C-alpha cells in the first residue's frame, strides 16, 4: 500500500503517462500503469509533474517591506542599499519572522520548496540572522531554507564585519557570502574574496557571493572567485551570484573568463527580473540589460541557476514568488527562445538550482524525496508560457498546497467553451 500515487504524469524529460508512487516520504516507483493501491491518488493525466522549484537567490530579511520607510525613487542598487540601511535599525525578530513565514507560504503555494536566502550580517545585533535561523527550523518540514551570511555593507568596509560574519556562522548560518564589488577598492574586493573562501574552507561550508553586480566591465571579481575556488579545492561548492558586469565586458576577455569559470566548477546564479530592473540605470540609450551571459555560460558547461532575489523590498516593488516568471524573464532578456534553451531555463529554476544548493534527495528518481508539483500545463515550455496554477504541491508524499484549475468560460452565440490556454483545454 502506497501513501500517494500520481497517475498519468508527463515528466520534464518528455516521458508521458507515468505513474509516480510514494511511500514513507520517498519516491518508490516511476512507471506506466503501477498496479499498487494508495491512500491517495491524484489524476495527473497530461499534466507536467516536476520536482519543486528552487529559488537559488533571495533576500528574506528584506522581503515584504516595500514602502517602509520610503520607496526607492531612483530604482538603483545603491539607493536600495541606502534604503535598507535606514530600515535595518527598525528590524525586530518577531516582525522579520512574520514576513519570512508569509513569503514561505507564498513560495509553497507556488511549488517552490527550496530557497537560498542571503541574510545581512552587518548588524551588531544580528537580528535578521536570529530571526531566519528560527524560521529555517520552523519551516523545515515544508521547505528547505539555506542561509547565506551576507556582508551587505562590505566584509572589509563595514566595521568588525569579520567578527559578525563569524558569529553568524557559529550560530549555524549555512553558507559564506560576500560582496566584493562593494568594497572600497578592487584590491579590497579581491582580498575579501580570498578571506571569505578561506573561512568557508576552514569551516567546510559552501560559498555564494554577490559578485560584480555592476555595469562596470572592469569589475572582474568573478575571476578571483574562480581562482580561489580552484586553489582551495572548492569545486561544486561555490556560487557566483548576479555576475552582471559580464554583460558589459569586452568579448575577448570573456573568451578567457568563461573557460576559467567552467574549469573551476563554479555555479552561476542570475536574477533576471532584478538585473533587468537595476542594471543600466546610468545609461541613456541604448540601455544595457545587465543580465549575465547565461547562454554562453551554459554552452561552456557551467551550471546556471536562477533566483527571484527580491519580492516587494527596497530594490524591487513587484513579485509574488513565481519562479516561472523568473525563467520567462531569462528567456526574453537572454534571447533564449529556442525550444532547448527554454527547457534549459525550466531546469534553471528546478534541477540546476538543486545542484547549486547541493540539495540531497532532489529529483524524480526512485529513492528521491517525494517532493512534487503538478502543474496545469503539459510541458516545461508551456509552463514558462502560462505560469500556470500549481494544482498540487507535494512534500514528502503529502499534499501541502492545492489550487483548483484556472479555467475561463467563453460564451459565444451558439457555444460555450472552456479556455485554459493550454494547447488542448482539458479542464
**Which residues are marked as active site?**
213
Q: Calculate the CA 205 to chain-centre distance.
A: 19
Cell of 68: 517602509
- Closest chain position to Fe ion (CB): 309
Binding mask 34-73 for Fe ion (x = CB under 5 A): ----------------------------------------
Binding mask 193-222 for Fe ion (x = CB under 5 A): ------------------------------
Cell of 60: 528574506
Q: How far is the CB of 87 from Fe ion (least distance, A)?
A: 16
Helices (H), 52-142: 77-87, 93-109, 127-139
Cell of 21: 508512487
- Counting Cβ atoms within 10 Å, is residue 299 exposed (0-12), middle (13-18) or buried (19+)? exposed
| 110 vs 273 by CB, closer to Fe ion | 273
Taking the chain, what is the end-to-end CA distance rounded to the nearest angstrom? 29
Using the structure block, give the residue that is written with the C-alpha cell 502506497.
2
| 215 vs 309 by CB, closer to Fe ion | 309
| 292 vs 376 by CB, closer to Fe ion | 292
Question: How crowded is residue 258: how many other Cβ atoms within 10 Å of its Cβ?
Answer: 18
How many chain residues are in contact with Fe ion, going by CB under 5 A?
Answer: 1
Pick the closest to residue 77 from 355, 262, 271 (CA basis).
271
Question: How crowded is residue 282: how many other Cβ atoms within 10 Å of its Cβ?
Answer: 10
Residues 74, 71: Cα–Cα separation, whole Å: 9
Binding mask 287-326 for Fe ion (x = CB under 5 A): ----------------------x-----------------
Query: What is the total residue count of the chain?
Result: 427
Pick the closest to residue 171 from 197, 203, 139, 195 (CA basis).
203
Pick the closest to residue 305 from 268, 261, 259, 260 (CA basis).
268
Q: How far is the CB of 352 from Fe ion (least distance, A)?
A: 18
Q: Calculate the CA 112 to chain-centre distance.
A: 9
Using the structure block, give the residue that is written with the C-alpha cell 543600466.
280
Q: Provide the 3-class DSSP secondary structure of residue 277.
A: helix
Integer-rounded Cα radius of gyration of the chain? 22
Q: How far is the CB of 105 from Fe ion (least distance, A)?
A: 22
| 228 vs 309 by CB, closer to Fe ion | 309
Q: How far is the CB of 179 from Fe ion (least distance, A)?
A: 9
Whether the CB-CB separation of 373 and 107 falls below 8 Å is answered with no
Which residues of this chain interact with Fe ion, rule CB under 5 A?
309
Amino acid at each position: 500500500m502506497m501513501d500517494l500515487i500520481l497517475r498519468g504524469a508527463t515528466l520534464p524529460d518528455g516521458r508521458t503517462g507515468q505513474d509516480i508512487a510514494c511511500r514513507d516520504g520517498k519516491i518508490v516507483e516511476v512507471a506506466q500503469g503501477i498496479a499498487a493501491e494508495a491512500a491517495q491518488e491524484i489524476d495527473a493525466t497530461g499534466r507536467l509533474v516536476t520536482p519543486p522549484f528552487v529559488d537559488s537567490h533571495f533576500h528574506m530579511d528584506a522581503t515584504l517591506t516595500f514602502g517602509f520607510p520610503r520607496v526607492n525613487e531612483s530604482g538603483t542598487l545603491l539607493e536600495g542599499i541606502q534604503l535598507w540601511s535606514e530600515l535595518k535599525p527598525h528590524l525586530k525578530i518577531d516582525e522579520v519572522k512574520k514576513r519570512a513565514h508569509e513569503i514561505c507560504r507564498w513560495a509553497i503555494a507556488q511549488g517552490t520548496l527550496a530557497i537560498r536566502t542571503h541574510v545581512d550580517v552587518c548588524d551588531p545585533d544580528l537580528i535578521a540572522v536570529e530571526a531566519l535561523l528560527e524560521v529555517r527550523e520552523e519551516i523545515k518540514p515544508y521547505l528547505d531554507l539555506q542561509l547565506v551570511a551576507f556582508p551587505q555593507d562590505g566584509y572589509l568596509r563595514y566595521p568588525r564585519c569579520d567578527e559578525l560574519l563569524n558569529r553568524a556562522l557559529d550560530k549555524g548560518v549555512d553558507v559564506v557570502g560576500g560582496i566584493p564589488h562593494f568594497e572600497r577598492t578592487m584590491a579590497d574586493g579581491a582580498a575579501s574574496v580570498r578571506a571569505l573562501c578561506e573561512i568557508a574552507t576552514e569551516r567546510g561550508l559552501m560559498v555564494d557571493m554577490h559578485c560584480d553586480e555592476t555595469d562596470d566591465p572592469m569589475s572582474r571579481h568573478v575571476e578571483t572567485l574562480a581562482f580561489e575556488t580552484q586553489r582551495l579545492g572548492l569545486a561544486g561548492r561555490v556560487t557566483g551570484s548576479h555576475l552582471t558586469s559580464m554583460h558589459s565586458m569586452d568579448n575577448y576577455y570573456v573568451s578567457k573568463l568563461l573557460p576559467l569559470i567552467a574549469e573551476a566548477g563554479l555555479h552561476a546564479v542570475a536574477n533576471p527580473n532584478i538585473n533587468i530592473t537595476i542594471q543600466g540605470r546610468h545609461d541613456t540609450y541604448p540601455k544595457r540589460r545587465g543580465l549575465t551571459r547565461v547562454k554562453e555560460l551554459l554552452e561552456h558547461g557551467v551550471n546556471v541557476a536562477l533566483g527571484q532575489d527580491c519580492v516587494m523590498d527596497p530594490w524591487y516593488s513587484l513579485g509574488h514568488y513565481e519562479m516561472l516568471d523568473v525563467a520567462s524573464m531569462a528567456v526574453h532578456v537572454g534571447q533564449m527562445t529556442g525550444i532547448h534553451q527554454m527547457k534549459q531555463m525550466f531546469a534553471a529554476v528546478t534541477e540546476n538550482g538543486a545542484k547549486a544548493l547541493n540539495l540531497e534527495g532532489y529529483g524524480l528518481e526512485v529513492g528521491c524525496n517525494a517532493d512534487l508539483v503538478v502543474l496545469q500545463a503539459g510541458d516545461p515550455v508551456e509552463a514558462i508560457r502560462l505560469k500556470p496554477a500549481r494544482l498540487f504541491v507535494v512534500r514528502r508524499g503529502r499534499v501541502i498546497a492545492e489550487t483548483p484549475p484556472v479555467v475561463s468560460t467563453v460564451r459565444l452565440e451558439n457555444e460555450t467553451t472552456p479556455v485554459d490556454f493550454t494547447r488542448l483545454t482539458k479542464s
